[in-house]
Amino acid sequence: MQAGEILITLALAALIGFALDRLKVPGGMMIGAVIGACAVNLSLSGVQLPPAFKTVAQIIAGAFIGCGVRREDLRQMRAILLAAGVVIGCLLLVNLGAAYLICRTGPVSYLTALFASAPGGLSDIPIIAADMGADASQVLALQLVRFVMGIAIFPSLIAHLTPRPSGAEDGEMQQKQPRTGGRKRDMLITLAVAAAFGLLGKASPVPGGTMAFATLGAIAFKLAYPAAWLGRPVRKGAQLLSGAYVGAGIGMAQLVQLRFLALPAVMLLLAYSLGAVLIASLLQRLRIFDRREAYLAATPAGASDMALISADLGVYNVKLVLLQVMRLITVILLFPSIFWALAR
């Protein structure tokens, strides 16, 4: 991709993203970036952004999570394991139910339907699906529906249907900011530490290693250096990069594919909508999360996406974002083997 095309893509993505963000749309920067980059791709045909954009966004998301962790938060780790077990187990059941409905209502094989409805990463799942013999184009098209539902539909519904947490600081993770003189320095050091760990995770064989390692590195750094922090503009920049990367991968082929998968897409939306309501109710009943946090935990978007968007909704709960990281790793690591066994 030429530098000019990259600049045009980022410019339109930033323009639409900034407009939606100013309109107070939850996740507006990311949604606008997807729309803008997709528009450029459809106009210029074949535009793709470098994978480094996704890596940077994941590193920033991990750093953003890590710098919100305090020593007292670590005492809640047991509760995170309980929450992760509930959410991942329930999402697997929703995944299986959605796959059954998809292959019953459209020209989709059972293996392809399982991957198409998996609550994993939009860029990771189609690659794994292709390696295991599923139809990657159908998987990508239906994963796109899940992605849009997760970043565009669910956050807006959650914002309107649940009360905003009292005292929540929009986008700043409820953390104390350092004195003005050292803010930029502390932010750059935090990013550098997260980047070093994130690149180490990217080079490792661990699924979702980039974000997982960046998160762990940022947590360790925050505990050792309490002034570690990231500002709101950095988070918005990560939303822009992540959204633009996804949007640039949406072309005419995916949109045409959706024409033949309209009914399976509706089944996917219904299954995950009902699943989110039931999972959120269970999390509330178990007193793990309050109402807004429970719905965010049950939202089938990517881990980095939810970490960046949850702050737009005035929510920062360490259990919530770490749960999303654990879900990402578990889905990529374990779900494909389960799908293979079931499809056989």
Q: How far apart are CA 7 and CA 207, in angstroms?
A: 31
Helix (H) or strand (E) holding 96: helix 77-105
pLDDT at 102 over 90: yes
Q: How far apart are CA 204 and CA 224, in angstroms?
A: 25
> Structurally, how many domains does the chain consist of?
1
Q: What pLDDT sits at residue 166?
A: 59
Q: What is the mean pLDDT of the chain?
A: 83
Residue 83, C-beta contacts closer than 8 angstroms, at least 6 positions apart: 283, 288, 289, 297, 319, 323
| Residue 334 located in a structural domain | yes
Q: What pLDDT sits at residue 110?
A: 94
Range of the domain at 211: 48-231+257-343
| Residue 35 located in a structural domain | no
Residue 337 backbone dihedrals phi, psi, to 5 degrees = -65, -40
Burial class (CB in 10 A: 0-12, 13-18, 19+), 41: buried
| pLDDT tens by residue, 7-31 | 888 999 999 999 998 988 878 888 8
| Residue 65 located in a structural domain | yes
Residue 167, C-beta contacts closer than 8 angstroms, at least 6 positions apart: 174
| Residue 286 located in a structural domain | yes
| Residue 137 located in a structural domain | yes
Q: What pLDDT sits at residue 180?
A: 47
**Per mean pLDDT, which of 286-295, 302-311, 329-338 is the most reliable?**
286-295
| Residue 141 located in a structural domain | yes
| pLDDT tens by residue, 161-211 | 887 765 554 444 444 444 444 688 889 999 999 999 999 988 988 766 887
Q: What pLDDT sits at residue 162?
A: 83
Q: How far apart are CA 256 and CA 254, in angstroms?
A: 5
Share of the chain above pLDDT 90, in %: 24
pTM of the model: 0.73
Burial per residue of 214-230, b for 16 or more beta-carbon CB atoms within 10 angstroms, e otherwise: bbbbbbebbeeeebbbb
**Per mean pLDDT, which of 107-111, 294-298, 310-314 is the most reliable?**
107-111
Question: Are 311 and 171 spatial neighbours (Cβ–Cβ below 8 Å)?
Answer: yes
Q: What pLDDT sits at residue 46?
A: 64
| Residue 310 located in a structural domain | yes
